[in-house]
Amino acid sequence: MQPFSRQTIRLSSGTELAFVAAGDPAAPALLLLHGFPSSSRTFTTVIPSLAGLAYVIAPDLPGFGASEPLAETSFPAMAKAVTELLQHLGVGPRFIYLHDFSAPVGLEIAMAAPDKVLGLIVQNANAHRSGQGAGWAETRKFWADPSPENEAAATRHLNFAGTRDQYIGGVPEEVAARIAPERWQEDWRVMQLSGRMAVQRALVRDYGRYSEKFDAIAACLAARQPPALLLWGRHDIFFEIDEVLDWMKALPRMQAHILDGGHFLLETHAREAASLITGFIAPAKN
């Protein structure tokens, strides 16, 4: 079990970016990217194990956790910020963990430098239209017509109940009972800080532009065929289970594991996930 430290850097834009680093910088790098509405805290329970094999970097994406918002929020801008962090740390080839909102960030980084991708770890991350089911109707309407009324409907989840449901919505009661309420309470506290709600609204809007890139992403994955590991919480109420099949069709050599958890799988299945991830990345160290 390796210790880890929380650090910050000042980006060239002037924005302060917080991150966690752990492990030997000479080991293969593992970039852990969190989703909405959390931060690098998502990975607290797995970083000590993963750092025994990899140089682990887990940033708080701009506008999340302890990281300041960017002057203009978008997924490509977030990818640029994380890339600057990797350059600052001297990180070369890396595994990339994708979850929720970090899929647009991580895939932007991967497609910009595909030769540096050692592998992808996909955990409840959307990159196919099949993953956006009926629950996305209001969001798609907003993307097509960004009126104030449609924006209000598409962002109605940006409240305490919506934050809580990221963790326990649709999750069986006995599984949800293993998740501490402090997790979503802290996320909601951060979301209420100055400028943070504007970040979330901007990302809901920008996710439409990300979705327009799905065909380009599919073409890149088909051409490159990076090693891949999929970990999926089967009770996810945000992404349809059809998303899993499309990931497996895109990457036929992908290792896929469906676990009895929700959207925030690591909250209940950290031990299982850490074991699968270490098994996936271990060959790169040899």
Place 3 in a pLDDT band, splitting at 50, 70 and 90. low
Say what the pLDDT of residue 2 is: 55
Say what the pLDDT of residue 4 is: 72
Average pLDDT over residues 237-256: 97
Place 23 in a pLDDT band, splitting at 50, 70 and 90. very high
pLDDT 10s digits, 211-225: 999 999 999 999 999
pLDDT 10s digits, 5-16: 799 999 999 999
Residue 39: is it exposed, middle or buried by C-beta count within 10 angstroms (0-12/13-18/19+)?
A: buried
How far is residue 68's CA from residue 83's CA, in Å, rounded to a whole number?
A: 16
Nearest to 32 by CA among 13, 4, 10, 9: 4
pLDDT 10s digits, 88-146: 999 999 999 999 999 999 999 999 999 999 999 999 999 999 999 999 999 999 999 99
pLDDT 10s digits, 157-187: 999 999 999 999 999 999 999 999 999 999 9
Whether residue 286 is predicted with pLDDT greater than 90 in this model: the reply is no
Handedness of CA 177, 180, 105, 28 (dihedral sign): negative
State the chain's mean pLDDT as an integer.
Answer: 96
Say what the pLDDT of residue 267 is: 98
CATH number assigned to the domain with residue range 5-285, chosen from the 4 options 3.40.50.300, 3.10.580.10, 3.40.50.1820, 3.90.1150.10: 3.40.50.1820
